[in-house]
Amino acid sequence: MRRPMIGLTSYAQHVRFGRNDMMAGMLPMTYVKAVHATGGRALLITPDDPGTDVLECLDGIVFTGGGDVDPAHYGAEPHPETEVDAVRDAAELLLMRAALAADLPVLGVCRGLQVMAVATGGALHQHLPDLINHDRHRAHAGTDPLAASAGDYGRHDVVTTPGSLACDLLGRRTSVNSFHHQAVADPGEFVATGWCPDDRVVEVIEHPGRGFALGVQWHPERTTDLRVFAALVQAALVNRAGPADRVAPVPGEVPAAV
């Protein structure tokens, strides 16, 4: 039997191959490796031809990290530090709403968590230093986020709500990396279940009305702690099995490839 098929949203970027400059569908391989390491099979979804039909061949989907969501989507004027990608926003907001409506297992990573909130009527803080008076949630100035190693990221603890999916998967307290300058102000249809204890920045959201819809503000794919990816793959296996064959996923268990 095939592994569960996990979609990964990606972005279009000009790159240079040899002497040629061209537009390419881009995503760090750390996402692909995280899906494969936890028993899934990765499928990249580019933003150039938006459509929900791709969801028909998926067992789960990861909304990946990247740039800022256009504040026009939540009725705000852009901050000077906000940088948007209108094409990616359109594609991912469409996919997010359709995936949630279909109850497809969904994991949001960094920007992906923010897309979750905005797609369901929520809003973002556009520039955290204006709110919390420090910039320790992202890497040092000048660091390339696509080339950064884990050591280039901020690091802090996250505390979770007892009884939440986040707590079941990660425990009451966990240490995470950090690379973002925006954060959730209003989670929309989601519920915030994890925070940085130092400044109360939202770090985890989850949807109480869906089988598996979890967003994390950090980048687990750049660490050895892949519990949220493992949980997504397990939920994808359950989703693919159908109601008659479903079994409850074990929090934190890494499923074997099938």
pLDDT tens track for 228-252: 999 999 999 998 887 544 333 444 4
Find the mean pLDDT for residues 81-88.
Answer: 91
pLDDT of amino acid 151: 57
Q: What are phi and psi of 130, to 5 degrees?
A: -70, -25
Torsion 221-78-129-159 (CA) sign: negative
Question: Residue 179: what pLDDT?
Answer: 85
* pLDDT per residue as tens digits for the range 176-196: 988 888 999 999 999 999 999
- Summarize pLDDT for 135-169 with one digit per residue, the tens: 777 765 555 544 455 556 778 899 999 999 999 99
Task: Identify the CATH homologous superfamily for domain 5-245.
Answer: Class I glutamine amidotransferase (GATase) domain (3.40.50.880)
Q: Average of pLDDT values for 9-20?
A: 80
Task: Give the pLDDT score at 245.
Answer: 42
Tokens of 3: 């592994």
Burial of 215 (0-12, 13-18, 19+ CB in 10 A): buried
Token pair for 125: 């803080």
Per-residue pLDDT at 258 exceeds 70:
no
Q: Mean pLDDT for the chain?
A: 88
Question: How much is the pLDDT for 164?
Answer: 98
Q: What is the mean pLDDT of residues 13-36?
A: 84
Is this structure's pTM higher than 0.85? Answer: yes
Residue 254 has pLDDT above 80, yes or no: no
Question: pLDDT (tens digit, 9 = 90+) per residue, 103-136?
Answer: 999 999 999 999 999 999 999 999 888 888 787 7
The catalytic site residues sit at 110, 219, 221
pLDDT of residue 32: 97
**Distance between CA atoms of 92 and 68, rounded to whole angstroms?**
12
At 29-64, the pLDDT tens digits run 999 999 999 999 999 999 998 899 999 999 999 999
Q: Give φ, ψ of 121 to 5 degrees.
A: 95, 5
What pLDDT shows up at residue 152?
A: 63
Angle between helical axes of 111-119 and 86-101 (0-180°, round to 10) = 70
Q: What is the pLDDT of residue 246?
A: 39
User: Cα Rg for the chain, rounded, in angstroms?
Assistant: 17
